[in-house]
Structures are given as structure tokens and as C-alpha cells.
Structure 1
Amino acid sequence: MKNYRHKRFTEIDICYETNNSLEFVNQCPDTEILFQERSRRKNCESYPQCIGEPLVYHCVRFREELVEVCAPRGLITGFCCALFDEGLGRVVEDYFHPCLGCPFVYQSDDASKYSKCVESKRKTPTLGRYERHTTLADKSNSIGTSKAWNSQRSSFAEEYHPVKLYETPVTISFAINGGEDIQQKRKLRRGHFAFIAFSTIVLLVFIIWLSVLIKKRYRKYVTQCSSSPTENWI
């Protein structure tokens, strides 16, 4: 089922920055006032957009616990709950957690409105924030440009671990192989669409020209036949 979710999105659609906003909570807001208050405190507008989609406040399940996260708004379909998928950086359907009280389609940031979907499975939830830590396999190699960093992605070991909220968070710069690759793919896609459009126009012009030519030939033939003297018919 997780593979199915990933097939719905391409590499361009992955939101890497959302993991930086992931934070454990005891419970999700159960009133609209509390939801708005927690949303203002989370300040999702301060995070960069994901391929033009603004990040909004979500309170959903993540693995066995509840988290607050800034992620793009999406549609949850199929009478099921929602969860945060760290591989996609998005809030998606949890097909293993059906919700009879949920509508067939609802906005992902409304997931906290359905109490059955925001019950923590752990008896003692972990309060804290997930930070992504990366370690170079070969620390002697200095990476000066983004291209060099991208070439070293395979040598990174990534792991998530909780950090207490009351400790000073560790800020780690993390370059992701996404910016230049995404722009390159978009350029190739635009070029492909332009080529298809040009080929289609050329084909239509050729068909129109051919039909006009055939029509003219047919009219000329009919005119010659009708202008022949009737004596020749006998």
C-alpha cells in the first residue's frame, strides 16, 4: 500500500522540507479555537513552499504517535484516516486505518477533526521534535557545490531520532538532490510537450493540404466529364 502511495507522486512532488517541521504532541486540537491557536504557533507560513504549494498546519498520526507538521494540503479519499509519510513529505491516506465517521473525501488538514484518526497507539507518547541527521561516509571529502553534494548522496546515512523540546535544537544544513534535477526535468518536459504540439500542427496542416488537393482533383475530373459532348456518349 505504501508503494501505491508513492506511485501517485513523482520525484518532483516530494516535499523534503516538511520533515524539518515534524514535532511530537500528546494530542491534537479538538476545537476550532485550539486548532487556530496551534496553527498560529506552528507558523507554517515561515517554511518554504513545496513546488508552489504552501505548507499548512496538520495534526496527524506518524508511525505510532501524533505529530504536528507543516505540509501541503491534499485530499484524503476512501473513508480512511490520514497519516504523515516522511518519504513523500506529505499527509496521505492510511488505508490500514479505516474511518466510518469520516467523509469519503476531505482535506488533509481536517484530519484532526475525526477523533478515531488521532488516537496515539502508544501509551506513553514521546514529546519532542524529529531532526534529520546526516553523516558523511568519508569526512575528508569537502563538498563545495551542490553538484558535488548530489554526487555524494549515496554515501549519506540518514536517521531520525527524537530531541526534547526543551533542549536547544541542533541546526544541520541538509542539501538535497532536487533543485537542479527538478528544473532539468521540467525543461525536458516542456520541450517534449512543445515537440508534440509542433508535430501535431504539422500533421494537421499536411492532412488539410492533402484533402484540399484531392478535392480539387476530383472537381477537375467531374468538370471534364460533364463538359464532354453528348455525341461521344453514344
Structure 2
Amino acid sequence: MELYRLVFDCLTLIAFSKVFVNSNECNDNSAATAKIVKSCPQNHKEWIEAAARKGCEQMAHFCSSSEYHCVINAWGNETIEVCAPKQQIVGNTCAEYSQGGKRIQRNRNVPCRNCPSFYQSNESFNYQECYEHVKNAKTSRTTQLTTESISVESTEEKVNQSTSVTPMENSARLVQNIDNQNTPSHIIIISVCVVIGLAGIIIVFTVKQRSWANKICSHFKRIVLQSEESKMTKQKSAIRNVEEGPEVQNCLLEKETQIQNVFYKLNESSDNTNSDAFSS
């Protein structure tokens, strides 16, 4: 009984060792077929044509199954063609080829909104969103490299210019830079002075305008008061005339009576004189 068990254990170890050796050999052969490409197939027809060119069937004796794949790399900035066993990708993510692990697996850092929760890795051509991620990464990288190269070129140009400039030119440029630095401060000072001057003019004009307004108001008040006083004087005189009217009339009548009496006496005296003269 123990002999049978020992034989069974040995056979099991041999089987597992073969599987492990075959797995390592399969991974090594898959890594040998990995190649960076500019783009991956856009549809099923292009996928079949690319698989035919790659010839992954030749690796069938090394792996249990060897399928054509065109997936992104672990950093999401390149696309890789490789012959490897297909894997089930889960979690709405893109499929990748791990060059360290030498196998197909899911890329947790590159989500895929249009990918289903479960799909086979050799069907990646159905989910172009993963390839678009690589294109965007390449574009941003190209832009960054272009910006860096431009900055490096400008720095080198400045260095070359500085090395080719004489000491006199350096001093002149230094003075010019100082003047350019002082220019904004001069502009600020002039602007502040202009604002203060305008504010002073506005204040003076406002004060004078108020004084003129006060003078005009006082003049009109004086005219109004004078007119009111004249009206009051006329009213008082009219009232006085009305009140003193009968007395004045009586006085005039008395004076008129006195004058008539005087004339009457004068007439009598003249008549008497004439009569005396006639009698004599």
C-alpha cells in the first residue's frame, strides 16, 4: 500500500514539474514573439490578417494554446503584438502584456468604459478605447519632448550668445535690463501722480462749485427779501392811508373853510373902502 502511494506521489510530482516547465517554456517563447507596433487591428478582418502574418500556430507545441494578441504594455504608452495563451480580462479594464511576467493580464491603471466586465484577451480589437489611450499618451509625450527640446535649444542659444558677447556688450545689456526693470516702477509712479492730480482738480472744482452755488443762493435770497420788504412797506403805507383818511379829509375841510373866511373878510373890507370913497 505504501509502495502504491509512493508511486502515485512521484507521478504527481512529475506531472506538475512538466506543467511548470512547459509553462515557463511557453512564457519564454511568448516573450520572444513580443514586438512593439505602431497600431493594432481596428476590426475583425484586420485581426485575422495580422494573426496570419504573425503565425502563432507554430507555438502550439510549446503552449496549451497560443493566440495572436495586440494589446497595450504595462505603462499604457505602447502597443505590443505577441503570441500567448488567451486570458479572461475582468473589471472593465484593458488587457496588457506584462514584459516582466511574460504573460497577458489585466491593466488596473487603464480603465475601459466600453469594455464588458468579462471578455477574452484575444478580442481586444473590439475595444479601441484602449488603443486610443496609447495614442493620447504618445501625443502628450511628443508634446513634452518638443517643449523640452525647444527649452534646451533656447538655453543653448542663450549660452552661446553669452559666450560670444564682449564684456562691453554684457555691461550694456546689464544696464538695459536694469532700465527695463525700472520702467514699470516709473510707469506706476507717473500713473499714481496723474490720479492724485485728477483727484485734486476734482476736489477744487467741487469746492468752487459749492461756493459759487452758495453765492448765487445768497444773492437770490437777498433779492427775495428786498422784494418782500418792499411789498410789506407798500402794504403798511396803504394801511396807514386807509386808517388816516377821515382825519386828513377833516383837516382839509377846516383849511378850506378858513381860506373861504379869509376871502370873505377881504371882500367885505374892499367893499367898505369903496363905499367910503364914494360918499366922500
Q: Which structure has greater strand proportion?
A: 1
TM range (shorter): 0.3 to 0.5
Q: Which structure has greater helix proportion?
A: 2
Give me the TM-score of the superposition, normalised by structure 2.
Answer: 0.38
Rg bigger for which structure? 2
